[in-house]
Amino acid sequence: MTTRYSALSLLKEGLAGQTGWKPAWRSPEPKPTYDAIVIGGGGHGLATAYYLAKNHGITRVAVLEKGWIGGGNTGRNTTVVRSNYYYPESVALYGLAHRLYEGLSKDLNYNVMLSQRGMVNLCHSVGEMEIGARTVNAMQINGIDAELFSPEDVRRVAPIYNFSPNARFPVFGGIWQGRAGTARHDAVAWGYARGASRLGVDIIQNCEITDFIIEGGRCRGVRTTRGDIRAERIGMAVAGHSSVLAAKAGFRLPINSYALQACVSEPVKPILDTVVLSPGVGVYVSQSDKGEMVIGGALDRVPSYGQRGNLPTLEGVVAGTLEMFPIFGQLKLMRQWAGIVDVVPDSSPIIGESPLPGLFLNCGWGTGGFKAIPAGGTLLANLLATGRHNDISRPFDLDRFATGRLIDEAAGSGIAH
Amino acid sequence: MQLFPCPFCGPRDETEFHYGGDAGNARPDGADVPIERWANYLHMRGNPKGVAREVWVHMNCSEFFVMERDTVTHEVLSSTALDGGHAQ
Amino acid sequence: MSAKRLQSGGSAIDRSRPLSFSFDGHTVTGFAGDTIASALLANDVAVVGRSFKYHRPRGIWGAGVEEPNALVDIGGATPTTPNTRATTEAAREGLVARSVNATPSAATDRNAFLDRFSRFIPAAFYYKTFMWPDWHMFEPRIRAMAGLGTVDAGWTPKQPSAQVNHHCDVLVVGAGPAGLAAARLASEAGFSTMLVDDQPRAGGSLAHRDGEIDGRSAAAFVEETVAALLAAGHPVLQSTTAFGIYDHHLVGLNQRHGDDRPDTLWRVRPRHIVLATGAIERPLPFANNDLPGIMSADAALSYLRRHAVLVGRRIVVATNNDSAYEVASALAAAGAEVTLVDSRAREIPGAPAKVRVVSGRRIASARGTMRVEGVTLDDGTRLDADSVAVSGGWTPTVHLFCQARGKLAWNEARAAFLPGDPVKGISVAGAAAGAVSLSDVFATAAKAVPGEPKGTVPRSTGSEATAGIVAAWPSRGAHGRVWIDYQNDVTAKDVELAARENFVSVEHLKRYTTLGMATDQGKTSNLAGLALMADITGRSVPEVGTTTYRPPFTPVPLASFTGSRRGELMAPVRRLPLENVHRGDSGVFQEYGGWLRPAYYGGGEADRSIQDEALRARQSVALFDGSTLGKIEVIGPDAAAFVDFIYYNTMSTLKPGRCRYGFMLAENGVVFDDGILVRLDEHRFIVSCSSSHVAAVHARLEEWRQDRFGRAAVYIHNATAEMATLTVSGPNARKLLETVGLGLSLDDADLPHMAMGQGIHDGEPVRVARVSFTGDRSYEISIRADRAEPLWARLREAGKAFDAVLIGLEALMILRAEKGYIVIGKDTDGTTLPHDLGVEGPRAKRQNEFVGRRSLFTEEASRGDRLQFVGLAVPEGEAPLDTGAHAILRDGGNLRSQGFVTSSYMSPALGRPIALGLIRRGAARHGESVEIQHLGKVRTATIAAPCALDPAGDRLHA
């Protein structure tokens, strides 16, 4: 059987008709007890299991997924990886994720295709340039790569942008992060699943949580569609449905669920090399390695658990796309979809023990969970293994909503106030 | 495009409305409200999957009202003016 | 020559209108009514494109939207569009078509060598390699191979797409026999009806399949039905695709016009939807089943009858079901030598005339390189063929049903998923519902129309199609390469590989192998892939299930969604009532918070003009258009209590005719807006909020009014757009106004600072508020917006005697910064609390409730090291600080931000730079120096009080 992935093993398997590959992950029957349970087989949950095994040596771990792994927001997002954040707390978190992403393919022996072709956040006025400078300076002070781009710089990386003198959203410059880019979203889930499974983690699909087992005021396990499963430490990473599980556990979260839509055009030959985001237009675009334009925009207006696209938001997002790139007026939309995201008042994640002892949270990532997967997994694994925060996860505890110590990136960068 | 029934204007496009939060989220007054209670009011949400009771405002007429709807199917079950009047 | 145009026939083509176009540089001839595909077939062009991954030569598969192979970039006489399906695009004179993913042409693609390495690059190979030394080493070359069509970089937008909203009782999607019957019955039942169909002409299968209806020809039925619908006033749209059913059953349609007009988007809100969307024929699994010349049997029949194109001379028709018999019969009748290979041994229809039938045999493999040359059956029999027409059965087109949350039910006898439990407001008819014979089709159509049956159901009076089928799915361990997804090059072996590696969920199968992810979204391939997965994993087909059906059904131009929403119509700016007057004064306009306003005046260099305006404003008098200021009236018996609750500052103690500055907080305590509140009388206030916050402030006031005070207690009226506000500011402001005459005393005793008076100008009431955003004596004069122009002219005229200067917003920003006056959102951020701005009093003293109160006493709000509002001074002779620069603290080798510069200008009045900022513990650090970093460069500044000019405030009264 071939387990290690490499050009050589591909060659060997090519000669052998590709028949020697092992399952990427095992699908065992669930055991009645584990040392730790991770609810949610998305990127964050799988990464948590992987790091529990790798960093903490805890391998009696089950990942419980109600559907198929990577089927939530991990497989629905627009794959941007970046760490262009403002507050030091955010930089510590997303910077960790970004660094781990940079070594992830080799670590997992799975090519997640991290493609660091850079990202520019455009500024459309003098005022936005001032805020842009504030952000770039903050990033540089916090040790994150950032440049303040002039209009000429923007033209260099995105020559097909609308530089017409009559453009509704003219370019005054932008915030550039050269290390930003995209990764192959499914591969992140599968790579972690394969890595975790090889270290002994049980990945249980089609296993939905129906209730928590609570004894002596502590969470001791879960009831599932595949029977009761017990563990002393349970983590949940179920973005979009965090409130649903919280309700089963008897508490509320500062979360509203919204659909976030995305769409892709038909594939065309490469014409856009970098990720371009216009806060003014409310749209960002990149071109995938398959050639599709991957288009993301703002949240839907209506709180929802319906994982599907609609017209009014799509029309606005597409209008914004063509305002940015008028030549995309010759392209066709191939597919639109939506994921359900946890929207939190300060748009920062919640990582820490829940009000139900023994149950730990990884939720509230809003529209930006994908880029944080390696960090979210590392931090939840640390919490499950030690029961305690480290310096990076501490500021993101649920208690910040009572202390008022919110980490509001939008507030800091002057977008919303 | 969902159609929401404004109790005053009748069915209108969802784009004319703005979400106002959970219905029945009473505001505790006072500088000495226990902070947990204040945080509960300010931040914690029911966020039900299924039937939800929510406050909405129809931006065209500025009127707030309570709407019951299903957050999965998007079926609208009822809408009620804040003073108790019913739409449809 | 293999394929050819027959001398007669072809219901769709007009032989009196020949045309020619180019494909890959070669001239192709055809007739009006041809599609690009039918013309290519008529010209015997076999290879029309290259597959995505292995660059396999591919020919035309189908005759409709399901086409996976025949994609072309079109241009020339037709609007440039990459990735156009040749099977649905009308041929036009002068059109230029290029095959996609092929260099230089589909016939001679230089990347064809990739196919020879296919065994080493199976599904998902890229996850297993390119990791060492780094993906970035490999990506550029792989990326360069990506994509199908090519974007024309020189393309410019054309006229915007039209967008139409439409309401009707019944929307019927599909104008085949089921749709026509349903639309006719709906019309006869009195429903307002709309019929849409994605083909250029109505009829669906009736345009090429046998059928006799009510004793007449199918063509007559189609023609009469459409005519009847049109006569009754119902829209019938051809070349129009219903691409999505969205929330609350809004249906999106994309209408193509067949000329240079961009497509039209229709948003249709029907009470009831009838889906008569037909079915799509599936391929058969055998090795090399992707060779050019192998096509859908139904397509072969369609090309024969609609376009008079016979796809080959020696044709093998291969099938597992009854529907191909009619095809074989027709091809033989048209002169081809036809062998029909039926995989079924029993219960098969009788052999058609002139057709040799081989039953109980399957094709094992096809041979040929650039086009099919023959097939080998599973018993080793070799048949020569220049064309193979295959039917693997029919997949009902249930995409829209599923988009509307409909669930499917597997029908083993039909080897197909059919619509399951009905969805409210939607019915499915015809082949989409599994009906095969015309009688069944009409029966489902009759049931699909809501309400009591009215009208006459059409009757099938001819021969009836039969539904016999024995499923033929790809099987495990097949020899050779059996292609499932043609466009994305997914073979049966790839599905086996996915299963071997545990990608057994249908969604994993799709994503791992890319099955169904191409531009055709798997219309011909998905079912075969999941059936094979079911077989491999010992599950039933419904246990494996389908992937989610997402809009759009077929690709829709982005421009259709955009419509006229582009440029200023995408995000309209708000405009001043006096915009044209300012333009006459050479005002240079910029957008500020959604408003288009003069930044400065005159055609000179910006900085010089702004400095000049700011300086002259201090010297004599300045005129400024402040019309964007919010003017929201709060009226009613509880108005005073209301403003107390809304504002951080106590406002109920304000006397009528007086003004007070205050903050509005959000419930999280953050300063949301600032501005002047005017009390007109006991029960009437005017909230003068920031220009960019008017809508948001108004919404908040309404929310608190309705939620806490009640409709009868307070009334709120946003009068912002009704009134213009003209500001006169400077040492000579009062003198200027006295020469104008505003009908009220400007004596300081009558109109002191922070007072408001009512006057009259030229018969028009004016409100004069003595408030200042410049630090100089200022008067804000509010007047009906449509009467503002004469007053402005009068102020300009009177100003001449005082050397009055017009100032734009940039000069105003300098004047207010000299005084340390804040701009919310610029000098504050989303964490700034009122005490951070030095306004501690209400927090400490107020006893009654106000918005955001409790949040001012959280742990975070009480910290001693908050960012606080300060001024910043630079050493003499240095340039202004950069706005956005951060104050830094060196902490070992690390830097930490201690706050940042929010505003920075050269002050012409002071002759030195001034700056404002939010600095950690700044209020207690006046006089301290801090390091300020901008883009890596560090300077030094001194923390100071925010107010740099006239701290005593004497100029307000000068």
Residues C724-755: pLDDT tens digits? 999 999 999 999 999 998 999 999 999 999 99
Q: C53, C510 in Cβ contact below 8 A?
A: no
Q: Is there a contact between B47 and A256 if contact means CB atoms under 8 Å apart?
A: yes
Q: What is the mean pLDDT of residues C59-70?
A: 97
CA distances to A219, A229, A236 from A222, in Å: 8, 5, 11
Q: Is there a contact between B36 and A402 if contact means CB atoms under 8 Å apart?
A: yes
For A254, the closest of B13, B35, B43 (CB atoms) is: B43
Residue of A nearest to C590 (CA): A125
C672 and C735 in a single domain? The answer is no
**Site from B64, B66, B80 to mutate, C interface, most C CB atoms within 10 angstroms:** B64
**Which residues of chain C lie closer than 8 angstroms to B83, CB-CB?**
711
pLDDT higher than threshold 60 for residue A413? no
What is the distance between the alpha carbons of residues C10 and C39, in angstroms, rounded to a whole number? 12
Domain membership of residue C858 (yes or no) is no
pLDDT score at A409: 85
pLDDT score at A101: 98
What is the distance between the alpha carbons of residues A273 and C399, in angstroms, rounded to a whole number? 34
Q: What is the pTM of this model?
A: 0.96
Q: What is the mean pLDDT of residues C104-112?
A: 94
**Site from B4, B16, B27 to mutate, C interface, most C CB atoms within 10 angstroms:** B27
Q: Is there a contact between B20 and C702 if contact means CB atoms under 8 Å apart?
A: no
C430 and C357 in a single domain? The answer is no
Q: C590, C601 in Cβ contact below 8 A?
A: no
For C853, the closest of B1, B3, B31 (CB atoms) is: B31
Q: Is there a contact between B74 and A304 if contact means CB atoms under 8 Å apart?
A: yes
Domain membership of residue C639 (yes or no) is yes
User: Do strands A202-204 and A61-64 pair parallel, antiparallel, or not at all (unpaired)?
Assistant: parallel
What is the DSSP secondary structure assignment for residue C705, as one 8-state letter?
A: I
C51 and C178 in a single domain? The answer is no
CA distances to A113, A270, C126, C143, C710 from C135, in Å: 6, 18, 10, 11, 63
Q: What is the mean pLDDT of residues C243-264?
A: 95
Q: Is there a contact between B27 and C708 if contact means CB atoms under 8 Å apart?
A: yes
Q: Is there a contact between B74 and A301 if contact means CB atoms under 8 Å apart?
A: no
**Site from A317, A330, A403 to mutate, C interface, most C CB atoms within 10 angstroms:** A330
Which of C799, C816, C833 is a domain's end point? C816
Q: Is there a contact between C558 and A143 if contact means CB atoms under 8 Å apart?
A: no
pLDDT score at C78: 80
pLDDT score at A412: 63
Tell me how crowded residue A215 is: count the other CB atoms within 10 A of its CB.
Answer: 11
pLDDT score at B86: 42
What is the distance between the alpha carbons of residues C231 and C857, in angstroms, rounded to a whole number? 73
What is the distance between the alpha carbons of residues A350 and A255, in angstroms, rounded to a whole number? 10
Looking at CA atoms only, how far is residue C507 from chain A in angstroms? 8
Q: C258, C12 in Cβ contact below 8 A?
A: no
Q: Is there a contact between A291 and C147 if contact means CB atoms under 8 Å apart?
A: yes
C251 and C304 in a single domain? The answer is no
Q: What is the mean pLDDT of residues B59-70?
A: 95
Q: A169, A283 in Cβ contact below 8 A?
A: no
pLDDT score at A414: 46
Element (H, E) at C616: helix C606-619
Tell me how crowded residue C786 is: count the other CB atoms within 10 A of its CB.
Answer: 10
Give the pLDDT confidence of C458-513 residue by residue, as tens digits: 999 999 999 999 999 999 998 999 999 999 999 999 999 999 999 999 999 999 99
Of residues B86 and C332, the one with the higher pLDDT is C332
Cβ burial, residue C879 (10 Å; 0-12/13-18/19+): exposed
C763 and C704 in a single domain? The answer is no
Q: What is the 3-state secondary structure (H, E, C) of C167-194?
A: EEEEEEECCCHHHHHHHHHHHHCCCCEE
pLDDT score at A124: 94
**Which residues of chain C lie closer than 8 angstroms to A416, CB-CB?**
830
Domain membership of residue C827 (yes or no) is no
Residue of A nearest to C102 (CA): A269
Domain membership of residue C337 (yes or no) is yes
C276 and C287 in a single domain? The answer is no
Chain C residues interacting with chain B (CB cutoff of 8 angstroms): 246-248, 250, 267, 269, 405, 667-668, 698-699, 702-703, 706-708, 711, 716, 849, 853-858
Calculate what percentage of chain C has a pLDDT beyond 90.
Answer: 95
Which of C685, C718, C751 is a domain's end point? C718
Give residue C1's pLDDT band: very low, low, confident or very high (50, 70, 90). low
Looking at CA atoms only, how far is residue A145 from chain B in angstroms? 34
Q: A25, A223 in Cβ contact below 8 A?
A: no
> How would DSSP label each residue in C60-90?
---SSTT-SS-EEEEEETS--EEEEETTTSB
Of residues A392 and A307, the one with the higher pLDDT is A392
Which chains would you list as touching C if contact means 3+ CB atom pairs under 8 Å? A, B
C692 and C746 in a single domain? The answer is no
What is the distance between the alpha carbons of residues A304 and C230, in angstroms, rounded to a whole number? 41
Looking at CA atoms only, how far is residue A247 from chain B in angstroms? 8
Q: Say how many CA atoms lie within 13 Å of C60 toward its Cβ.
A: 32
Closest CA to C474 of C521, C517, C526: C526
pLDDT score at B85: 47
Q: What is the mean pLDDT of residues C944-949?
A: 98
Looking at CA atoms only, how far is residue C117 from chain A in angstroms? 9
CATH superfamily entry for domain B3-21+36-81: Folate-binding superfamily (3.30.2270.10)
Query: Lowest-pLDDT range, A168-182, A301-315, C396-410?
Result: A301-315
Respond yes or no on whether ipTM tops 0.95: yes
Looking at CA atoms only, how far is residue C550 from chain A in angstroms? 6
Residue of A nearest to C859 (CA): A403
Q: C22, C96 in Cβ contact below 8 A?
A: yes
What is the distance between the alpha carbons of residues C318 and C391, in angstroms, rounded to a whole number? 6
C748 and C620 in a single domain? The answer is yes
Calculate what percentage of chain C has a pLDDT beyond 70.
Answer: 100
For C267, the closest of B1, B28, B31 (CB atoms) is: B1
What is the distance between the alpha carbons of residues A78 and A294, in angstroms, rounded to a whole number? 6
Domain membership of residue C148 (yes or no) is no
C623 and C753 in a single domain? The answer is yes
Q: Is there a contact between A289 and C895 if contact means CB atoms under 8 Å apart?
A: no
Looking at CA atoms only, how far is residue B80 from chain A in angstroms? 18
pLDDT score at B84: 53
Give residue C891's pLDDT band: very low, low, confident or very high (50, 70, 90). confident
Q: Is there a contact between B74 and A306 if contact means CB atoms under 8 Å apart?
A: yes
Q: What is the mean pLDDT of residues C551-557?
A: 97
Q: Is there a contact between B47 and A253 if contact means CB atoms under 8 Å apart?
A: yes
Chain B residues interacting with chain A (CB cutoff of 8 angstroms): 1-2, 13-15, 17-19, 35-36, 39-40, 42-49, 52, 54, 71-74
State chain A's mean pLDDT as an integer.
Answer: 95
Looking at CA atoms only, how far is residue C856 from chain B in angstroms? 8
pLDDT higher than threshold 50 for residue C213? yes
Domain membership of residue C188 (yes or no) is yes
State chain C's mean pLDDT as an integer.
Answer: 96
Range of the domain at C512: 473-538
Give residue C603's pLDDT band: very low, low, confident or very high (50, 70, 90). confident
CATH of the domain at C176: 3.50.50.60
pLDDT higher than threshold 60 for residue A154? yes
Domain membership of residue C695 (yes or no) is yes
Q: What is the mean pLDDT of residues B19-39?
A: 94
Give residue B88's pLDDT band: very low, low, confident or very high (50, 70, 90). very low
What is the distance between the alpha carbons of residues C543 and C506, in angstroms, rounded to a whole number? 10
Give residue C890's pLDDT band: very low, low, confident or very high (50, 70, 90). very high
Q: C626, C725 in Cβ contact below 8 A?
A: yes
C272 and C183 in a single domain? The answer is yes
Q: What is the mean pLDDT of residues C794-815?
A: 97
Give residue A165's pLDDT band: very low, low, confident or very high (50, 70, 90). confident
C737 and C612 in a single domain? The answer is yes
Domains and CATH numbers, chain A: 27-83+85-110+185-253+346-412 (3.50.50.60), 119-179+256-343 (3.30.9.10)
Which of C538, C564, C595 is a domain's end point? C538
Q: Is there a contact between C130 and A412 if contact means CB atoms under 8 Å apart?
A: no
Give residue A416's pLDDT band: very low, low, confident or very high (50, 70, 90). very low
pLDDT score at C148: 94
pLDDT score at A254: 98
Domain membership of residue C548 (yes or no) is no
pLDDT score at C12: 96
C842-860 burial, b at 16+ Cβ within 10 Å, e below that, comes to: bbeebeebbbbbbbbbbeb
**Site from C151, C164, C517, C930 to mutate, A interface, most A CB atoms within 10 angstroms:** C151
Looking at CA atoms only, how far is residue B14 from chain C in angstroms? 10
pLDDT score at A415: 43
Domains held by chain C: number: 6
C275 and C172 in a single domain? The answer is yes
For B35, the closest of A301, A302, A402 (CB atoms) is: A402
Residue of B nearest to A345 (CA): B43
